[in-house]
Amino acid sequence: MIENLLSFTIATLFLAMAPGPDNIYVIAQSLTNGTKSGIATTAGLISGCIVHTTLLAFGLSAIITTSETLFYGIKVLGALYLVYLAYKVLLSDSKISFSEKAPKKTNIQLFKQGVIMNIINPKVMIFFLAFFPGFLWDKTGNTVIQFYILGITFMVVSFIVFSSLSILAGYFSSLLNEFKFISIVLKWLQIIVFVGIAIVILIP
């Protein structure tokens, strides 16, 4: 058990540190609205993993992924939601301020958005289905409990890594206040991330 958990933890650490859409999105939120916003987004993204872990533990992930129509429907809904978020950012004021008085989403809103982004991404479900089973330490035992232990481990490690990124990004944001063009770059960065994730979801 210990060896499996250690191997799983190390693998999760590298996966969390590897550049990806979630990392970029968390960093963008931290740069734009500060460290707390980045951590709130991180908490939302990680919390969504509970749903995927539950689906995996009780076998629903396998059922959903075997239905091409249902699976494609989930992908389309997820992509449409992300495109909608990109559209909202496009309509927003590009002159984003890094100051505390700047208008921004509440931490609760960012948390909810992170949860939805994670849940509607079917590739997370497939990743869990492909990644977790290989680290079960007793396939003849209670796999539900084992999957939840792996899920919690994945969430804790990912939260620590993503929160660290948030803190670093939040720190550097205070140094970028005087560079006004950064706000425009961050706006388009968020748009690109949303649309990019939507495209990735729809790619077979």
User: What's the pLDDT tens digit per position in 123-156?
Assistant: 788 788 878 888 888 877 888 899 999 999 999 9
The angle formed by the CA atoms of residues 85, 157 and 5, to the nearest 5 degrees, is 135
User: What's the pLDDT tens digit per position in 15-43?
Assistant: 887 666 787 788 888 877 788 888 999 99
What band does 182 get if pLDDT is binned at 50, 70 and 90? Answer: low
Q: How far is the C-alpha of 71 from the C-alpha of 48, rounded, in Å? A: 18
What band does 99 get if pLDDT is binned at 50, 70 and 90? Answer: very low
Task: Give one word for 59, left, alpha or beta, with left for phi > 0 and alpha for psi -120 to 50.
Answer: left
What pLDDT is attached to residue 93? 66
What pLDDT is attached to residue 101? 41
Backbone CA torsion sign across 30, 32, 37, 42: negative
pTM exceeding 0.85: no
Average pLDDT, the chain: 81
- Indicate the domain borders of the chain: 2-8+23-202
Other beta carbons less than 10 A from residue 12's beta carbon:
20
Other beta carbons less than 10 A from residue 195's beta carbon:
18
Cα-based distances in Å from 87 to 161, 172, 193: 29, 27, 12
